[in-house]
Chain A
Amino acid sequence: MGFWDIPLQVWMGQLLLGLINGAFYAVLSLGLAVIFGLLNIINFAHGAQYMLGAFAAWWLAQNLGIGFWPALVLVPLIIGASGVVIERTMLAPLAKLDHLYGLLLTFGLALIFQGLVRQGYGISGLPYPTPEALSGGYNLGFMFLPKYRAFVILASVVMCLAVWLVIEKTKLGTYLRAATENPELVGAFGINVPMTVTLTYGAGVALAAFAGVLAAPIYSVNPNMGADLIIVVFAVVVIGGMGSILGSIATGFGLGIIEGLTKVIYPQGASIVIFVVMAIVLLVKPAGLFGKAT
């Protein structure tokens, strides 16, 4: 089959898939960027916390009969609160040391989370139903668009924009950005910087958990779902340029689409294409597409 013989449905199908994956890349790398911005830590547990989000949604539905919509609010709060505890008890004592220790610590946490879920519930996927209001889909003529997937893309875009607005346009965001630049000075103005740091970590973790709840009806909920994803998200982060909020959003969606379209042209290359893009970007612009040169 030649290049031009590939039917439109296939292109559109993969484009949609790419957009969905891109939505998750964007939300996750956004969470990483927010945490990195203030704590200077690469949160290696981010993938595991995303998994915990999906798993918590499943657990709430299974044991307490709590459905998708309440879970979408509850789960980020619960997992975010666990993030607050982690920051207070483990990350804060490391703040003065080399930031690589934070990466190593969160790596250890990721192992613990994944191991615990695997020990308790096995590695086979746990099914999570699509919420009733979003079952079915739209027939667009050239393709079928499931309602839930459209919702995921929309929800991610809205969430990304909301975070961007908070950080760039509100007073809280100004404090955050100032605390990144000069924590001592901001503290001298009477702002509780350690508290800000803690809450930021909690918020970043909550973002990961939010993505996890969104993912539960699409992907099977299993202990490794975050581990495979997080490596790709790291690449996205490197490509986008770590510091930039907008960079992580744009790069996340963009790379999702590139990955989806590669699946049409050269399926074997789909899992590698993001890393190839990363290598090229590094060659041309070591600071990343949206990053500031160091």
Chain B
Amino acid sequence: MMADKALDKPIRTDEHRAERGALLWLGALTVLAVVGPFFVYPVLLMKMMCFGLFACAFNLLLGFGGLLSFGHAAFFGTAAYICGHVTKEWGLDPILSILAGTAVSALLGLVIGSLAIRRQGIYFAMITLAFAQMVYFAALQLAFTGGEDGIQAIPRRPALGLIDISSDERLYVLVSIICLGGLFLIWRIVHSPFGNIVKSIRENEPRALSLGYPVARYKLAVFVLSAAISGLAGATKSLVFQLASLTDVHWAMSGEVVLMTLIGGMGSVFGPLVGGAAIVLMQNYFASIGAWVTIIQGAIFVVSVLLFREGIVGVIQKLLNRRR
């Protein structure tokens, strides 16, 4: 059974050390978020944050649930569309719009998840992929999504009716709060009793089942949580770029988030954040070389699968542990 051979290394024996490590991470990230804009263009930083959060949300399912979804773009993109639509056409407050996008993604996660968790491993991956493709075609044909053009020029209305977020610098503060909040939420989920049960299901599903846990319900719950936080990332991204487009729901995006997670490290809570930032940076600096970006991404995929399955963070952690 797939769950027996989870993708990543087992959780470190010293649970407390790992927990403290993750809290240190969060603190370091907060510091980074504060000083970041003095060194890097804020839009690029916000992009890194959104995709990093997306990757961490995806990893919540893969790294801790042992479930490889190949259709997470569906949640990311749907939330982007919903958020863009309600803020542009209905004039909703940006915070409410982001929440609306998140909520719709969670609902979508409930629908897709309840069907997909009936199968495991490769089947699960293919089913999520196929459903994401349904969402893609829907986005292509529904009226409100703007077809090939997407939803453009999404306005940045004052948050809560009074806080001006029209400039990149001001929006940056809001986006940092949202993304750090999302990351904290993921950390909370992983280190909660719920998270432990999810991990136990990944490690040994039949045993969890025989202990009396409603395994399917736990799997569905972690799927919905992952979908919702992916949606949070997507909705926030649509405000940053003022754009929701087919790219967000295309299966290539689903592949990209897998790549981010793989590169960052599936075993750790925040490893994928590093992977997400790395991929965004790479795309940013290599944008001018055309199709080579795809080729390089593919090559990174192959190399990480063959040689660096623990990812950047995993490799660093290994080196640190060796020194101890």
Contact = CB atoms under 8 A, between A and B. Distances in A.
Contacts of B115: 279, 282-283
Interface in B51-93: 68
A108 B134 contact: no
Given A100-B122, A103-B122, A111-B255, A234 B302 contact: no
Contacts, number: 126
A271 interface: yes
Most A CB contacts (10 A, CB to CB) among B115, B297, B305 go to: B305
Interface stretch (A53-61, A67-75, A113-121, A193-201): A113-121
Contacts of A268: 141
A103 B125 CA distance: 9
A11 to B, nearest CB: 23
A284 to B, nearest CB: 11
B301 A104 contact: yes
Contacts of A97: 5, 309
19 contacts: A90-B302, A94-B306, A100-B7, A100-B68, A104-B258, A108-B298, A108-B301, A114-B294, A115-B298, A119-B291, A231-B251, A235-B130, A271-B137, A271-B140, A275-B133, A275-B134, A279-B134, A282-B119, A286-B118
B131 A111 contact: no
A115 B123 CA distance: 27
Interface of A: 36, 40-42, 90, 93-94, 97-101, 103-105, 107-116, 118-119, 231-232, 234-235, 237-238, 242, 268, 271-272, 275-276, 278-279, 282-283, 286, 294
Q: Which 6 pairs, one residue from A and one from B, show the smallest C-beta to C-beta distance?
A: A108-B301, A111-B298, A115-B294, A115-B295, A112-B298, A119-B291
A114 B2 CA distance: 30
B37 interface: no
Most A CB contacts (10 A, CB to CB) among B7, B120, B293 go to: B7
A101 B308 CA distance: 12
B127 interface: yes
Interface size class on chain B is 35 or more
Given A111-B255, A118-B291, A118-B294, A105 B301 contact: yes
Interface string B290-324: 11111101111110011001000000000000000
A17 B294 CA distance: 32
B302 A286 contact: no
Given A90-B302, A115-B295, A271-B137, A282 B121 contact: no
B129 interface: yes
Contacts of B291: 115-116, 118-119
A52 to B, nearest CB: 14
